[in-house]
Amino acid sequence: MSIFFHLIKVCPKTGARLGKLATNHGVVDTPAFMPVGTQGSVKGITTDELAELKTAMILANSYHLYLRPGIEVIARAGGLHKMMNWSGGILTDSGGFQIFSLGGLRKVEDDGVVFTSHIDGSTHYLTPERVVRIQNVIGSDIAMVLDQCPPYPVSREEMEVVVERTSRWALRCREAHLREDQALFGIVQGGVYQDLREKSAAELVKMEFTGYAIGGLSVGEPKELMYRTLEGVVPLLPADKPRYLMGVGSPDALLEGSRLGIDLFDCVLPTRIARNGRVMTSRGYLTIRNAVYASDMAPLDEACGCPVCRNYSRAYIRHLINAGEILGLRLTTYHNLYYLAQLMQEIRDAIAEDRFDQYYREMKPRLDQYYGGAN
C-alpha cells in the first residue's frame, strides 16, 4: 500500500474537511499539522516525545539529507524511519523550497538545479529523476516532485516560466517514481496569478498524482492575498485526494486553511520561535526571555494542559533559556507543538460534530488578533 485517503465529512457552510490519510506507518487524521524535521530530527524533541504529542507525520527534507548524512548512510540504516527510530509517517520535501531559500547558492536550469553546498562548497546537480531516486532511498511515505518555488513578488512573465518548468519536472518525476509503497504528490505553482494557478492545477491533475500540494505561498505575500489565492486554487483539486498547503503554520493560517479545505500543513514556525524563547498561548505570543517574567511563577499558559505548563513556571523556563540551558528550549518547543496539536484536534472535533462554522466564527477574530502577522 502507498497511501489511501478517506474523506469522512465536509462542512457544508465552509468546505472544511475531515479525513483519514492511511500510510504504511499509521493513519493521519486530517486536517493535520506536520512538525518539520528537516535533517531527520524535529529540533529539540525526541521521537518518543513526538509520539506523546500524538504526531502522526513529520516533514523531512531530501536535499539536506542527501548532503548530510548522505543517502548511502540512510540506505545502510534501512531507511529514514529506522535511522531516526520513528514509527509514524514521513513526508519529504524535494528541495524545491531550497530553490527559493538558498538564493546565490543555486542556479535553476531547464533540466534541473545546480546547488552549491552550504556545508562544504561542493557542487551538486539535482534533476527531477535524481530527486525522486533520493526520496525512494529515504523511504518516506509521501515524496514530493521537484518544483520551482519563486519569491514574492515575481512578474507574470517569470511566473509563466516557473509554471511550465514545474509541470515538465512533475511529469519527469512521475515517470521516474518506482516505489509502490510511497505516494508522490504534485505541487501547484502560479503565484498570485489565478489563471496560471488554473493552468498548473489542470496539468498536474491530468498526471494523476496521489495528492496535491499548493506551493509558492507564505513566501512574503500578505496573508489576505494568500487566502484569496487559496480560495481560487483549492476547488481546482480533486475532492477525493489529500491537499497540502506547504510552509504554513501560524494558528490563524491553520484555521483559515482548514476552512478552505486544506488537509495537511507544515512549518518551522513553532520550533524556530521556541528556540528564541517565544511561545504560543491562548492569549497570543509570549516572549519568555523578557525580564517581566523573571519572578513569574505562573505557567506559560494557564489554559494549557501540556506537561510543561503543568510542571514548570515562566520564571524557571526564562532562567533556563537565559542561562543557555538546553532544557529551556526543549520545554518551549514541546509546548508550542502541543499548542498546535490541540488546535488541530479542536478543528477536527468541530468538523466531526457539525459545528465548525460556529467554531470558526468564534476563533477567527481571536486568532487574527493574536497571530495575524507572519505565516
Angle at 33 between CA 145 and CA 312, to 5 degrees: 140
- The SS3 assignment for 78 reads coil
CA distance 168 to 111: 9
Is-catalytic flag, 93? yes
Q: Which region holds residue 216: left if phi is over 0, alpha if psi is between -120 and 50, else beta?
A: left
Cβ atoms of 143 and 184 closer than 8 Å: yes
Residues 251 and 370: their CA atoms lie apart, in Å, by 9
Q: Which spans in 71-184 are helix H?
A: 71-77, 80-83, 96-101, 128-138, 156-176
Starting at the earlier edge strand, list the strands of the sheet with 113-116.
106-108, 113-116, 123-126
* Closest C-alpha to 233, from 212, 256, 254: 212
> 3-state SS of the chain: helix, strand, coil percent to 5?
45, 20, 35
Tell how strand 113-116 and strand 123-126 pair up.
Answer: antiparallel
Active-site residue, 48 included: no
Q: Which one is catalytic: 93, 252, 263, 301?
A: 93
Q: Which one of 141, 252, 266, 301 is the catalytic residue?
A: 266
State the catalytic residues. 93, 266
